[in-house]
Amino acid sequence: MSKHYFTENLDRIFSLKEELAEEQDKSKKKELIEELTEATKNITKTNTYKDVNKLFRILFSCFIFIIFLLLNIFVIYLIYEGFHQDIYFLEKDVNYDRLINFKVILVLISGVVIETSIAFRLLAKNVLNVK
């Protein structure tokens, strides 16, 4: 709903209110009250939609951010544990083939880049309404 619609509807409410105050006929007053009620409902629906939309955007942004943060913390934890396993097995056996090598690091970096692009795509699509 546009700002113009909101202003137009608000003007309609005030004019109905003035007409209601001036009107003497009871049947005409009843019609004006019904029109006033309908116009008020339209403004309430518009504001409620905007509030729900704003709340959705905030919650969705927080949800994506938390998932993004938790996944990256988990990746850091896996690297940390992998390095500790490598150190432990290297102390035991010199011919041990390392668990964390350059290929693992490259895969994790590319995974984080893909994860970041997906997170920003979701935010752009659902929060900023970018098509």
3-state secondary structure of 36: helix
Q: With CA atoms as reference, report the closest residue to 71 among 7, 28, 118.
A: 118
State the pTM of this model: 0.51
Q: With CA atoms as reference, report the closest residue to 65 among 122, 109, 129, 110.
A: 122
3-state secondary structure of 93: coil
Q: What is the mean pLDDT of the chain?
A: 77
The phi, psi pair for 86, rounded to 5°, reads -60, -45
Length of the chain: 131
Separation of alpha carbons 121 and 126, rounded Å: 9
- How many percent of the chain have pLDDT more than 90? 0
Checking if the pLDDT of 42 tops 70, the result is: no
Report pLDDT for 1.
Answer: 47
| pLDDT tens digits, 77-127 | 888 888 888 888 888 887 877 777 888 888 888 888 888 888 888 777 777
3-state secondary structure of 21: helix
